[in-house]
Amino acid sequence: MTAWNGNRRRIHIQEVGTRDGLQAECTFVPTEEKIALIDALSSLGLAKIEVTGFVSPKAIPVLADAEAVMKGIRRVPGTVYSALVPNVRGAERAIDCGADEVNLVMSATETHNLANLRMTREQSFGGLREVAALARGAGVRVNVSLSCAFGCPMEGEVEMATVLDWAERFHTQLGADSITLCDTTGMGYPTQVNTLVRAFRERWADAALTLHFHNTRGMGLANVLAAIEAGADRFDASLGGIGGCPYAPGATGNICTEDTVHALELMGYDTGVDLAGLVAVSRRLPALLGHDTPSQVAKAGQRLQLHPAPHDLEAIRARAEARI
Amino acid sequence: MTAWNGNRRRIHIQEVGTRDGLQAECTFVPTEEKIALIDALSSLGLAKIEVTGFVSPKAIPVLADAEAVMKGIRRVPGTVYSALVPNVRGAERAIDCGADEVNLVMSATETHNLANLRMTREQSFGGLREVAALARGAGVRVNVSLSCAFGCPMEGEVEMATVLDWAERFHTQLGADSITLCDTTGMGYPTQVNTLVRAFRERWADAALTLHFHNTRGMGLANVLAAIEAGADRFDASLGGIGGCPYAPGATGNICTEDTVHALELMGYDTGVDLAGLVAVSRRLPALLGHDTPSQVAKAGQRLQLHPAPHDLEAIRARAEARI
């Protein structure tokens, strides 16, 4: 099985722009605009939408309206509406608002976990255990995300064994319904991605696995294809490619949803996503955010959106032929 | 043989930023700056540098100093110094200046050829035949580039047979030493690239073949890997990813040299290129051109260029541990 030909294989595309993307923005996008954005995305065939994060409004003011957004959106059957939750309080809020899934996060490295979450990894894991139990009790799905699974911006390389050990604990001790391996700062490269996903699949052939790539160093799509060839079929992506990285000012963020769908559909994969609709929604982002986005397809158009020939083509041809 | 692991295979990287890139700029880069840029690139292990274009100074004023640049640069043995030439006059100028190679161009589609070169394809081919004979007589290598080999922005799909037929004529009737298949407006996608390069290799197993990709729709690196898996080992790329596309304002241009080398070296390929040197030269471009470039690695740094942990990491850890 080669990644170069999709052969109608199903690839699940999960939108994270409304949480991971907006969280990285300085501007507060008005609640009704967030809801309109998510409602527009809901009808386009995405497998999952990370709607918001039930985080501290003081820590992340741009997501302070999590309740209003989660309650205000229109739910389309077949789409999973997920929310990031950092702790029990967040999980309670998410469950109250009827989230289908809670997304729990910790880092693969001690330094990144301490720097980002102000806890040791074991403390984070202990917290996630409580959150997972609460969610499971409420009949809400649990996804656990491991940050820095492909490298840590402060510690450097992350051993594959470390990643697999945490995945093991997420499965057995947290009862995770699904796991996301996150390339938080765009350090993953195709050889590594292919090897790690292959190792994951050897251990858990059928476990739900998401790959979360950033395009920080331009390797996003190549990493997606390397992962597919190793047996992955779920990918996070962000509308417009929004969601920057604090360690790389000016660099691009998450892999771009429409660019990813555009490439995969051309290659014969079945994403189930309405690409034209996606591009139309993405083109609303610059006005909403006050800046350009990294999306390529939103700018260049789809591959076969052609341009007119010069209006005087026949005159050019006549002049050319007269020259001989 | 899979593309996902380089296994020290040699990949030849050919710099086109100084011609294809600068040609797309509005600003005239001063001659001494162009020479300094090329001299800086010359020591970095690139297989080939497309130094300039011996085109009409009226048509493309930013390359009006082609002679001065080609004569002014310092030649490093092992690097091929190439120049674009549109006609016999251009070839004479390039040969006079001691170019190692002339690069001839025509389009795979009639509409693009008429629109761009104001000639029918057969007229262009007839002209290239004269140019190729002249160059061969002068002992100068001949590369022939086929534009729109992966799609035409005006005609749409281009049949693989059309591309292979032109390649056949370039080999047999022009005596081309090497051929470049150009994805002029970023329409190529990995499945197509893999198929076309495979078909080319079935017909010409050992012919020198370059792939020239644009990252217009974010598929550049994936296309490089798809081509490698099909037997390609030579790629054009542009420092900083400069070289826009007139049909896609705001979209990125050629695949970026440093991003490509960064990814391929991580994957275990041997490009022979000094990546740190490349990034340093690329970081001079924004000041030279007056705008940011699409390069990701120039902004984000190499994968293992780490960031310091928070200065108070031990205090964070102590507070965290005291909490339990």
Residues B89 and B135: their CA atoms lie apart, in Å, by 11
Q: How does residue A252 score in pLDDT terms, banded at 50, 70 and 90?
A: confident
| Site from A8, A87, A189 to mutate, B interface, most B CB atoms within 10 angstroms | A189
Residues A303 and A261: their CA atoms lie apart, in Å, by 12
CB contact under 8 A, A317 and B114: yes
pLDDT given at position B26 = 86
Ordered per-residue pLDDT tens for chain B, 324 residues: 799 999 999 999 999 999 999 998 888 999 999 999 999 999 999 999 999 999 999 999 999 999 999 999 999 999 999 999 999 999 999 999 999 999 999 999 999 999 999 999 999 999 999 999 999 999 999 999 999 999 999 999 999 999 999 999 999 999 999 999 999 999 999 999 999 999 999 999 999 999 999 999 999 999 999 999 999 999 999 999 999 766 666 667 899 999 999 999 999 999 999 999 999 999 999 999 999 999 999 999 999 999 999 999 999 999 999 986
The minimal CB distance from B156 to the residues A154, A157, A306 is found for A306
Closest CA to B144 of B161, B167, B126, B124: B167
**Cβ neighbours of B296 in A, within 8 Å:** 215-218, 251-252
Write out pLDDT tens, residues A285-301: 999 999 999 999 999 99
Query: Which is the catalytic residue, given B97, B152, B245, B256?
Result: B245
Residues B130 and B136: their CA atoms lie apart, in Å, by 10
Closest CA to A135 of A196, A87, A64: A87
CB contact under 8 A, A6 and B191: yes
| Site from A11, A123, A187, A221 to mutate, B interface, most B CB atoms within 10 angstroms | A221
Measured CA angle at B224 (ends B220, B228), to 5 deg = 170
Cα Rg, chain B, nearest whole Å: 21
Q: Confirm if A253 and A291 have CB atoms less than 8 A apart.
A: no
What's the full length of chain B, in residues?
Answer: 324
| pLDDT at A247 > cutoff 90 | no
Write out pLDDT tens, residues A141-153: 999 999 999 999 9
Chain B contact present for A309, CB below 8 A: yes
**Cβ neighbours of A3 in B, within 8 Å:** 190
Residues B199 and B197: their CA atoms lie apart, in Å, by 5
The minimal CB distance from B189 to the residues A222, A252, A263 is found for A263
User: How many of the other CB atoms lie within 10 Å of CB of B195?
Assistant: 15
CB contact under 8 A, A189 and B263: yes
DSSP H helices in B19-87: 22-23, 31-42, 66-72
Q: How does residue A249 score in pLDDT terms, banded at 50, 70 and 90?
A: low
Reported ipTM exceeds the 0.90 cut: yes
Does A245 participate in catalysis according to the annotation?
yes
Concatenating the DSSP letter of every residue in A135-185 gives: HHHTT-EEEEEEETTT-BTTTB---HHHHHHHHHHHHHTS--SEEEEE-TT
User: What is the H or E stretch that residue B316 is in?
Assistant: helix B313-323
**Cβ neighbours of B192 in A, within 8 Å:** 266
Q: How does residue A12 score in pLDDT terms, banded at 50, 70 and 90?
A: very high
Chain A contact present for B320, CB below 8 A: yes
The domains located in chain A, with CATH, are: 12-323 (3.20.20.70)
**How many CB pairs below 8 Å do chains A and B form together?**
197
| pLDDT at A157 > cutoff 90 | yes
Write out pLDDT tens, residues A80-125: 999 999 999 999 999 999 999 999 999 999 999 999 999 999 999 9
Concatenating the DSSP letter of every residue in A263-293 gives: HHHHTT-B----HHHHHHHHTTHHHHHTS--
| Site from A2, A217, A316, A321 to mutate, B interface, most B CB atoms within 10 angstroms | A217
Chain B contact present for A310, CB below 8 A: yes
